[in-house]
Protein backbone atom coordinates (compact mmCIF):
# COMPACT_ATOMS: atom_id res chain seq x y z
CA UNK A 1 0.00 0.00 0.00
CA UNK A 2 1.30 3.41 -0.96
CA UNK A 3 0.67 6.56 1.03
CA UNK A 4 0.68 9.98 -0.60
CA UNK A 5 0.85 13.35 1.14
CA UNK A 6 0.12 16.43 -0.92
CA UNK A 7 0.75 20.02 0.04
CA UNK A 8 -1.95 22.20 -1.46
CA UNK A 9 -5.66 21.67 -1.99
CA UNK A 10 -5.87 23.52 -5.28
CA UNK A 11 -6.71 22.16 -8.71
CA UNK A 12 -3.62 19.97 -9.03
CA UNK A 13 -4.12 18.58 -5.54
CA UNK A 14 -7.64 17.48 -6.48
CA UNK A 15 -6.44 15.72 -9.64
CA UNK A 16 -3.55 14.01 -7.86
CA UNK A 17 -5.76 12.96 -4.94
CA UNK A 18 -8.30 11.39 -7.28
CA UNK A 19 -5.66 9.60 -9.36
CA UNK A 20 -4.04 8.23 -6.21
CA UNK A 21 -7.35 7.02 -4.81
CA UNK A 22 -8.20 5.29 -8.09
CA UNK A 23 -4.95 3.35 -7.59
CA UNK A 24 -6.07 2.45 -4.05
CA UNK A 25 -3.46 4.59 -2.29
CA UNK A 26 -3.94 6.33 1.07
CA UNK A 27 -4.14 10.10 0.51
CA UNK A 28 -3.51 12.99 2.88
CA UNK A 29 -3.85 16.58 1.68
CA UNK A 30 -2.69 19.51 3.76
CA UNK A 31 -2.86 23.24 3.15
CA UNK A 32 -1.91 26.30 5.19
CA UNK A 33 -5.43 27.69 4.80
CA UNK A 34 -8.78 26.11 5.72
CA UNK A 35 -10.57 27.80 2.78
CA UNK A 36 -8.97 25.66 0.04
CA UNK A 37 -9.44 22.52 2.14
CA UNK A 38 -13.15 23.23 2.52
CA UNK A 39 -13.48 24.16 -1.16
CA UNK A 40 -11.76 20.91 -2.14
CA UNK A 41 -14.08 18.79 -0.01
CA UNK A 42 -17.35 20.60 -0.70
CA UNK A 43 -17.01 21.99 -4.24
CA UNK A 44 -14.07 21.06 -6.46
CA UNK A 45 -13.66 17.33 -5.82
CA UNK A 46 -17.37 16.44 -5.81
CA UNK A 47 -17.94 18.66 -8.85
CA UNK A 48 -15.27 16.84 -10.85
CA UNK A 49 -15.60 13.29 -9.57
CA UNK A 50 -19.25 13.02 -8.49
CA UNK A 51 -18.84 12.92 -4.72
CA UNK A 52 -16.31 13.43 -1.96
CA UNK A 53 -14.04 10.45 -1.21
CA UNK A 54 -14.01 9.87 2.56
CA UNK A 55 -10.70 8.05 2.15
CA UNK A 56 -8.96 11.40 1.63
CA UNK A 57 -7.69 12.94 4.86
CA UNK A 58 -7.52 16.74 5.05
CA UNK A 59 -5.28 18.68 7.46
CA UNK A 60 -4.26 22.26 8.09
CA UNK A 61 -0.45 22.20 7.95
CA UNK A 62 0.35 25.42 9.75
CATH number at residue 44: 3.40.50.720
What pLDDT shows up at residue 61? 93
pLDDT tens digits for 31-52? 999 999 999 999 999 999 999 9
The residue segments making up the domain with residue 37 are: 3-60
Max Cα-Cα span within the chain: 30
Indicate the number of domains in the chain. 1
Distance CA 9, CA 28 (A): 10
Report the chain's mean pLDDT, rounded to a whole number. 97
What pLDDT shows up at residue 62? 82
Its pTM stands at 0.91
Q: Is 60 exposed, middle or buried (0-12, 13-18, 19+ CB in 10 A)?
A: exposed
Amino acid sequence: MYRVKMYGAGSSGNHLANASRVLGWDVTVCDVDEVPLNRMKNEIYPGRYGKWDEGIKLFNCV
